[in-house]
Structure 1
Amino acid sequence: MIEIEVEADAWSALPEVEAIVSRAAEAALGSVEGDVVVLLSDDAAVRDLNARFRDKDRPTNVLSFPAPENAFPHLGDLVLAHGVCAEEARAQGKTLADHLSHLVVHGVLHLLGRDHEDDAEADEMEAEERAILAGLGVADPYAAEREGEA
């Protein structure tokens, strides 16, 4: 089950925001059973959480909070900051819907234990993200980065 809470009114400007989040989260979960809570919040709330839990006093696009193993079927929570997400989408020439889909997929994969601490992990996680997003009709979010490296 995917539970979605829209805390920041700015998210409501995105048509079908809850459907976008639900589709992306379900695609990332695949056949994994479990519950995920997604909070669509604002930059101030995410900045506060980032400072309290990661010692980084700034907003970020998405935070993933995996649940303890004994909390099954709850897998964890995601919190997304509207302002950061909207600005990143604009700067990258993407729709907010596509960027949101990517960040939800990315966050759910973190809840499932994926990470990108080293290059090998990052390559594996990005490949998984690209495959899931392609299934949703969302373009490769890393294409511009790879083109810049070539």
Structure 2
Amino acid sequence: MSTPLGLSVVYGVPRKGVPAAASFRAWVEAALRGAGRRKATELAIRLVDAKEGRILNREYRGKDYATNVLSFPAELPPGVKLPLIGDLAICAPVVAREAAEQGKAPRDHWAHLTVHGVLHLLGYDHVDDAEAEAMEALETRILAGLGIADPYAMAEHGN
């Protein structure tokens, strides 16, 4: 990565089966490059259990279940210029369960959800079909650069 990245990875779960901070750094850098971000960037990733994931999802999205990744874009006051783009909370047991259900390598699913979350922090979304298509295409291109197959192709073919 040619621009500085400040990344904090906080493990709120046991480390077994959860990628190392170096992997998260590589995935975040790939997402930033793929999205064309050329300036210094800071973010934090917290890896959570199902209980914390459910609490966060309920408090911030009004949904009473743990989800795979939550993005919290930075809300800086007007005129404040910092490289902070926000925080991600990734729920380890949900990621593991989804990877198994979808027949994906757990590491590939972790990478996908990290890229997906970073793109949300950069302002990408999937609330309508056109946005979803654009975001999925960008994710697929970024993941291909990491040697990871299209995560949406499996879903489309019922696997």
Report the AA paired with residue 113 of structure 2: L
SS at match of 1:57: coil
- What CA distance in whole angstroms lies between the structure 2 residues aligned with 1:54 and 1:124? 23
Report the counterpart of residue 4 of structure 1 in structure 2. 9
Report the counterpart of residue 27 of structure 2 in structure 1. 24
Question: CA 1:38–1:71 in 2, change beyond 3 Å: closer, same or farther?
Answer: farther
Does residue 120 of structure 2 align to residue 117 of structure 1?
no
Equivalent position to 1:62, from 52, 56, 69: 69
SS at match of 1:50: helix
What's the Cα RMSD here? 1.4
Q: If the length of structure 1 is used for normalisation, what is the TM-score?
A: 0.92
Q: Indicate if the aligned counterparts of 1:40 and 1:81 stay in contact, CA closer than 8 A.
A: yes
Deviation at 1:29, TM superposition (A): 1.1
Deviations 1:13-34 (A, max 9, x none): 1375222211111111113421
Report the counterpart of residue 108 of structure 1 in structure 2. 118
Gaps of 5+ in 2: 1-5
Deviation at 1:71, TM superposition (A): 6.2
Equivalent position to 1:98, from 104, 108, 125: 108
Deviation at 1:72, TM superposition (A): 2.0
Report the counterpart of residue 128 of structure 1 in structure 2. 138
Q: Indicate if the aligned counterparts of 2:11 and 2:46 stay in contact, CA closer than 8 A.
A: yes
- What CA distance in whole angstroms lies between the structure 2 residues aligned with 1:19 and 1:5? 12
Gaps of 5+ in 1: none
Deviations 1:37-81 (A, max 9, x none): 000111110100111111111100000000014462110000011
- What CA distance in whole angstroms lies between the structure 2 residues aligned with 1:116 and 1:15? 27
The 4+ residue runs of structure 1 with deviation greater than 4 A are none
Report the counterpart of residue 43 of structure 1 in structure 2. 50
Question: CA 1:48–1:25 in 2, change beyond 3 Å: closer, same or farther?
Answer: same
Question: CA 1:2–1:147 in 2, change beyond 3 Å: closer, same or farther?
Answer: same
Q: Which has the higher helix share?
A: 1
SS at match of 1:142: helix
- What CA distance in whole angstroms lies between the structure 2 residues aligned with 1:147 and 1:85? 20
Report the counterpart of residue 3 of structure 2 in structure 1. none
- What CA distance in whole angstroms lies between the structure 1 residues aligned with 2:128 and 2:102? 24
